[in-house]
Structures are given as C-alpha cells and as structure tokens.
C-alpha cells in the first residue's frame, strides 16, 4: 500500500483524539481551520474525563467525523457537516511531512462518495481561508467551483453531477 493510500475510518480511538489534540496545538495546522481557540483545551478535557477506548460518539456531534489513516496510522481528520440542503466538508492533514503528497485529494474523493451516495446530498460546500492556496488548489483540482468570496474565506461547491463526470 502506498503512503498516499488512505482509508476514512468512522471510528475515533483515544489515541486518535490525543493525536488530534496535538495537531490543534500546532499553529501551522490550525491557522487554516475554523476551530475556536479552545478546541484543543476542550478536547483534552473530554479525553481526561471519559475513560473509554473509543470516542466516536463524541466526534459525531451533528456531523459525520472520520479519521484519515494510511498504512502507518492516523494522519488527519475529515468532517461532513449537514447544512440544510448541502453538506460542508472540512479536512485537516495533521502530519505536515505528508502535505502535498495526495492525501487530501484521496480523502476528499472518498468523502464525496459518502456525501453523495450515503448521505444523499446534491451539493458539497468547502469554505477555505483566502490565504490557504494549497486547499484551494486541492478542491479546484477535484472539480469544486468557486462560488463567492467571503470576508475571510472563499466558498467552493461541487454537485453530484460534476463529481460523477470527474469520477467516471
């Protein structure tokens, strides 16, 4: 299995949550996320308070949460958040040495299959910070179209039809 081969795992183990907490302490990673500045602290409190090996139920709060895994372990996370008629996608590759290696592309393609075929949405939205050129290039390369520029973000959409054409 290649290093950029990934699996989206719906299970979140304690070790995954601890890794995510570490990533949330890295300014280079969180500067592009829309997490509030207490996300890491809140996550650590939950990990300390709940003595269970699997924490999946805590992460699937109003969304579908996945850990991104490659043959060597958990390397990121992805959320699919229902927002009315659409689903918003959020992705973070936490292992910086893997940035630019196709992990994000593979994870988003897998997530789009889930959004369109399991969750039955017609459109997926990505809101990306204006200075996050890497993620903007990622979604544009997959077929997302720029819809509008917001104050701090650029909003992109992809429909099921566009995804079908790209995936075929």
> What was the pLDDT predicted at 121?
96
What count of residues does the chain have? 168
pLDDT in tens, 85-118: 999 999 999 999 999 899 999 999 999 999 999 9
pLDDT in tens, 57-90: 888 888 999 999 998 899 999 999 999 999 999 9
Burial of 108 (0-12, 13-18, 19+ CB in 10 A): buried
Query: Which fold is adopted by the domain 7-167?
Result: Aminopeptidase (3.40.630)
Q: What is the dihedral of CA 36, 24, 107, 163, to 10 degrees?
A: 20
pTM: 0.89
Q: Where are the beta strands (DSSP E) in the chain?
A: 7-9, 64-70, 73-83, 86-93, 123-129, 145-149, 153-159
**Band of residue 148 on the pLDDT scale cut at 50, 70, 90:** very high
How does the average pLDDT of the chain come out, rounded?
89
Average pLDDT over residues 144-148: 97
């Amino acid at each position: 299995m290649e290093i950029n081969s990934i699996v989206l795992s719906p299970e979140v183990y304690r070790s995954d949550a601890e890794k995510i907490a570490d990533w949330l302490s890295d300014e280079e990673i969180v500067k592009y996320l829309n997490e509030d500045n207490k996300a890491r602290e809140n996550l650590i409190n939950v990990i300390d308070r709940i003595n269970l090996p699997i924490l999946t139920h805590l992460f699937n709060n109003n969304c579908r949460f996945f850990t991104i895994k490659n043959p060597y372990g958990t390397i990121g996370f992805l959320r699919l958040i229902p927002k009315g008629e659409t689903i918003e996608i959020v992705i973070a590759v936490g292992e910086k040495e893997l940035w630019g290696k196709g992990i994000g592309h593979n994870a988003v393609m897998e997530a789009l299959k889930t959004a369109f075929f399991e969750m039955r949405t017609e459109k997926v939205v990505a809101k990306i910070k204006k200075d996050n050129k890497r993620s903007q290039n990622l979604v544009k390369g997959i077929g997302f179209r720029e819809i509008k520029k917001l104050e701090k973000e650029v909003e992109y959409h992809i429909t099921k039809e566009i995804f079908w054409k790209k995936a075929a």
